[in-house]
Amino acid sequence: MFNFTKCMSLAMFLTFCSYAEANNELTYAEQTCFSVTMENQTLKSVVEWIEKNSQFILSMIRI
């Protein structure tokens, strides 16, 4: 019975920590706003600029 209680306590703690971490990420994304004005640039260079000048990490899939 002790192992079950210990396991459930650990599971609840990890669930709470992951929820708190996800909530923090949403808060940053919702509060952050910036404008980008670039002409004659590739999409790759614009994405790289955004990643260097913010905490956002963008991923692109080539099709």
* pLDDT value, residue 10: 85
pTM: 0.48
* pLDDT value, residue 40: 94
Cα(8)–Cα(3) distance, integer angstroms: 9
pLDDT digits (tens, 9 = 90+) for 2-54: 688 888 888 888 887 666 666 665 566 667 777 888 899 998 898 899 889 88
Among the listed residues 28, 52, 50, the one whose alpha carbon sits nearest the alpha carbon of residue 37: 50
| pLDDT at position 63 over 60 | no
